[in-house]
A and B are shown apart, each in its own frame.
Chain A
Amino acid sequence: ELKVEQNPLFLSMQEGKNYTIYCNYSTTSDRLYWYRQDPGKSLESLFVLLSNGAVKQEGRLMASLDTKARLSTLHITAAVHDLSATYFCAVRWGGSEKLVFGKGTKLTVNP
């Protein structure tokens, strides 16, 4: 069974600082997603990573994938308050369409 672990689960940081969220998964997959969820809202897709070494950047967020280590990172650069949300990684499991999600990282960016 595929397991997806994120850490940290809670992250409080100051504006302007950098930090990284980690996502480890237990078995081979061909697709890794990062989503953002604001309180009471649905999920917003941030990145889809398809291959080893893939790196994608959007604004202050950058995601990377190491399929050999089964590790993805979401790096936050010079955080701003608007980035406060819960961030989930999700991995497609084998040949199915099932996405297995991590428990999420609740990010709070303080002024």
Chain B
Amino acid sequence: GAGVSQSPSNKVTEKGKDVELRCDPISGHTALYWYRQRLGQGLEFLIYFQGNSAPDKSGLPSDRFSAERTGESVSTLTIQRTQQEDSAVYLCASSLQSGAPGLGYFYEQYFGPGTRLTVT
């Protein structure tokens, strides 16, 4: 089936505006992850969902960032009052489940193409 999709692929916004980024995981994947990648850097974890709940929000950089997931499917990452330092590529990933299904096994995370956010 289709892979992880994200929209929009590119977003340019003015400082102070709110933006919403969308992620459609692979069908049947109950775990969903958001990461941020600044230019020339590795990925920073933001938040992950197991079903519709978010057991780990520790990577959200400030209270301007929030995310929700409904119906164990689509997730939206919202950034309020955007700042220039929010400019980055926001990547979403999904996996069948989270946790360790057993010794020597794992649930692989599949990444979407990302949304490039530019705050001017």
Contact = CB atoms under 8 A, between A and B. Distances in A.
A30 B100 contact: yes
A25 interface: no
A98 B59 contact: yes
Interface stretch (B12-20, B61-69, B70-78, B109-117): B109-117
A100 B56 CA distance: 14
Contacts of B111: 42-43
Interface residues of B, number: 28
A99 interface: yes
B104 to A, nearest CB: 6
A99 B104 contact: no
Contacts of B98: 97
Contacts of A63: none
B42 A88 contact: yes
Given A30-B100, A43-B91, A88-B43, A99 B109 contact: yes
A93 to B, nearest CB: 8
Contacts of B104: 50-51
A45 B91 CA distance: 14
Contacts of B31: 97
A51 B108 CA distance: 16
Smallest CB-CB A-B distances: 10 pairs: A101-B42, A101-B43, A43-B111, A97-B98, A98-B45, A42-B111, A103-B42, A42-B113, A97-B48, A104-B42
Interface of A: 4, 30-31, 41-43, 45, 48, 50-51, 88, 90, 96-104
Interface of B: 31, 33, 35, 40-45, 48, 50, 55-56, 58-59, 91, 98-100, 104, 106, 108-114
